[in-house]
Chains A and B, each alone.
Chain A
Amino acid sequence: MRTGSLFLLARYWPTILLVGLAATAAPIRGASAQSQDRLALTQRATWWRYPSKAELANRTRDVLPTIEADVPEIEPNNSAAAATAASIGDRVTGSISPVGDVDYYVVTVPAGTFLELEVEASRVGSFLDATLQLFDRDGVTSLEFNDDAGSLDSRIRFQIESEGDYFFAIRDLGGGGGSSYFYSVDISAIPPPPGNPITTFASGFQVPIALAFDSVGNLFVADVAMGRITRVAPDGSSSLFQNFVQGGDWMTFDAFGNLIVPSWDGTLQIITDTEIDTLSIGINPGPIALGPDGGLWMGSWDMMTGFPILSHRDPYGGLIEAFLLPVSPAALAFAPSGELYMMGFDNSLMKLSNGVVETLVTGSFENCCFTGMALDEDGNLYVANGFLGEVSLYGPDGTLLEEVFAFMDAGTPSTLAFGRDANGMGTARLFASSATFGLYQAEGRVVEFNPAAIRAPGHVVDVGALLRITKNRLRGGVIGQEYADTLTAADPAVTWSIAAGTLPPGLSLDGVTGVVSGVPMESGAFRFQARAESQSLAGERAYELVIEEPVLSTTDVIDELLGVGLLSPSELLYLDLIGNRNDEFDIGDVRAFLQRMGTVNSPEVLRD
């Protein structure tokens, strides 16, 4: 791992928590019949997990650069002061012996060099589980640390800014040592990948994860360690946007310009300059993206089964439909084609096209661990790998275009985001949140990749202006009882219609007044999308209207049948609606009621 497990813990802790919660959770509520059908076409869930040491040990090694000479270590080289001298192009060899040994080397590096240090030990049978640390010219200041890099063996790639003698140290992760703890380290100057050099755009964070640009080019950075969101102006100046934010692994701007931050407690935090509002959505949300329809798309888990799901919600968070996914998504992003690209926790790439999930890159531990994704206007996918400290570039169909588009000079890339200009247009500037973990603290920053290497400006989902529907929820109704409630919008001069779904039988929508009224005839939770249109704007909002059955006792119903009852007209209507619907209350209705109560076949004689 590039900088220790703290990073992955920080990035994936909601996942770890949610997986734990999933076993005790509730089912997906109110998915449409269509989506329930999709859910029925269940693919078995594949859970992301971190590869074990044993799995890492079995990986094949990468192709190593040509090495000119072997340089054996010269013990004692247990400090920077006693470091064994080596040069770029050398392969230093040695062993971590005795137990607890640490070997230092010093290398003269020209300015601008992309230095690579690659350990070979475990892959060739050594007992050594190496860690590698690169120090600045003072031999003390840590520049980079790595444990594993695709195997138990370590690798550091680092962009050297200033010429000088740099130090690196190798030791065993567990503090072991002995003659079986042999190793070699190849010291190379490698060609810089196109996305390098990397520059620091904003700093002063601890663990920045989620990034989002607003419509005037400000960058918002969620720091999960500090629980705050910082606004970074286009000139790089920073200011506090909001404190006390839960979560921060993902966020997006909604169709109304609010910053939406999912929280592990089953809510969406709707954040503005002045307040944090919360919306309970009944699931534990994960990655989130704004859709072309103005709706919110988010990954989560089915609370009952634990299966990963993708939910499509209206701009206000109301559920429209849900899709079962083969794997939990770790990032979502819409492409110019309107297709939703998803990065899986198993290091896969998928896309949702016409309601069907297609796998573009199969999940693999070899790819571990994808941490962020951004799409440009050509549909290319820039994928961050926090484990390797690299960014890869994929084509729209999942073809790998650049295995190493860029590597981090320090820290781990997590979220990737394309910048936006003052008009909200996507720019060819790609940013990543990054944290470097020390033993007791982390330093975070936002970096920018070489803009000359960006193939196209970032894709921005532009939904335009939406008519805001202000009615949050419709009150519930009861079968047989007169019902009325009114839909409202920011502009009162609108016409109303049902865009999808159906009202409860017996209710209708007045297209002019927005009044939903009638006498409900069936119980249940009825989902529909109301559409409001003014002369210039339109908007839709999902509603769930719950119709309940009145609470009646068998005695009351039988008394009514036997001629001494006191049921209300609405209760009699309810009984007829669940019975034979002949507009009269009769013994057929009572028999239907007894059937509902499960007592129609209970032998008994009762004096009422």
Chain B
Amino acid sequence: MIDHRRGAGTWIKQWSSICLVVGCGALLACGGDPTEAVESREFVVSLTSPNPSDGAILFSISGGVIAEFRTLATSGPQVHFRSTGPTTTRVAVFGNIATGGLVSFEVSLGERVQDYSAEILQVADRDNVLRSISGYTIEVIEP
């Protein structure tokens, strides 16, 4: 004979166990130990351009070692970068470039945005003509 009440209780316990395991797994999948503190954050290189249709920009960032960039340019961004000093990185971005976030990069929690600075070196339009960098501003911000 089947004990329906026992059976129901067993199912409830089993479902509770399953949900616990799944929930822990999800937390682990989302970053490991949920009690572990976040150790990095993201800074953004932001451009203000006086011109429409910029096609490429070359700039440098100083302030720390940057291991990786993420693209934020509006379309077709292609980013090349290389460290040119202990805390200096030169970056070239090709694509449809406009005012706004250009690239982002991760820094450790202890780093301050005011320690980073950026400098525009060259800008070209989408016909590959070199533009004057007068009127352009570039800065590193914390979003």
Contacts and interface: CB of A to CB of B under 8 A. Distances in A.
A35 B92 CA distance: 45
B128 A579 contact: yes
Interface stretch (A246-254, A438-446, A589-597): A589-597
Contacts of B122: 586-588
Contacts of A589: 128
Contacts of A594: 78, 94
A588 B128 contact: yes
Interface stretch (A16-24, A121-129, A140-148, A559-567): A559-567
A522 to B, nearest CB: 16
B41 interface: no
B116 interface: no
Interface in B116-143: 122-125, 127-130
Interface stretch (B1-9, B23-31, B32-40, B52-60): B52-60
Contact of B124 (A564, A588, A603, A607): A588
A187 B88 CA distance: 108
A564 B90 CA distance: 10
Contacts of A606: 78-81
Contacts of B71: 603, 605
Contacts of B81: 562, 605-608
Contacts of A605: 68-71, 78-81
B65 to A, nearest CB: 12
B70 A561 contact: no
A559 B84 CA distance: 11
B128 A591 contact: yes
A558 B92 contact: yes
Given A582-B130, A605-B68, A605-B71, A587 B124 contact: yes
B82 A559 contact: yes
Q: What size tier do the contact residues of chain A reach?
A: 20 to 34
Contact of B56 (A564, A590, A607): A590
A590 B130 CA distance: 11
B50 interface: no
Nearest to A578: B128
B130 A563 contact: no
A280 interface: no
A588 B68 contact: no
Contacts of B78: 594, 599-606
Among B55, B71, B78, B79, max chain A CB count under 10 A is at B78
Contacts of A558: 80, 92
Given A580-B128, A605-B71, A587 B80 contact: no
Contacts of A608: 80-82
B95 interface: yes
Interface string A513-543: 0000000000000000000000000000000
Given A582-B130, A600-B94, A607-B81, A587 B76 contact: no
B100 interface: no
A563 B90 contact: yes
Nearest to B123: A587
B28 to A, nearest CB: 28
Contacts of B64: none
A584 B55 CA distance: 18
Contacts of A562: 80-82, 84, 90, 92
B72 to A, nearest CB: 11
A521 to B, nearest CB: 16
B90 A591 contact: no
Contacts of B94: 590-591, 594, 600
B117 to A, nearest CB: 18
A599 B77 CA distance: 11
B82 A587 contact: no
A554 B70 CA distance: 20
Given A561-B92, A580-B128, A601-B78, A587 B56 contact: yes
A591 B130 contact: no
B57 A563 contact: no
Contacts of A579: 128
Contacts of A603: 71, 76-78, 95
A601 B124 contact: no
A559 B92 CA distance: 10
A592 B128 contact: yes
A587 B84 CA distance: 17
Interface string B99-113: 000000000000000
Given A603-B77, A605-B70, A588 B130 contact: yes
A591 B56 contact: yes
A605 B76 CA distance: 11
A580 B84 contact: no
Contacts of A588: 55-56, 122, 124-125, 128-130
A563 B56 CA distance: 16
Nearest to A606: B80
B79 A586 contact: no
A606 B93 CA distance: 10
Contacts of A590: 56, 92, 94
Contacts of B82: 559, 562-564, 607-608
Nearest to B57: A587
Contacts of B127: 580
A564 B128 CA distance: 22
A559 B83 CA distance: 11
Nearest to B81: A607
A588 B56 CA distance: 7
Contacts of A592: 128
27 contacts: A558-B80, A562-B80, A562-B82, A562-B84, A563-B90, A580-B127, A580-B128, A586-B122, A586-B130, A587-B56, A588-B129, A588-B130, A590-B56, A591-B56, A591-B128, A594-B94, A600-B94, A603-B71, A603-B76, A603-B77, A603-B78, A604-B79, A605-B69, A605-B80, A605-B81, A607-B81, A607-B82
The 3 closest A-B pairs by CB, nearest first: A588-B124, A588-B128, A601-B76
Interface of B: 55-58, 68-71, 76-82, 84, 90, 92, 94-95, 122-125, 127-130
Given A562-B80, A587-B122, 7 more contacts: A562-B92, A563-B84, A588-B56, A588-B122, A601-B95, A602-B78, A605-B68
Interface of A: 558-559, 561-564, 579-580, 582, 584, 586-592, 594-595, 599-608
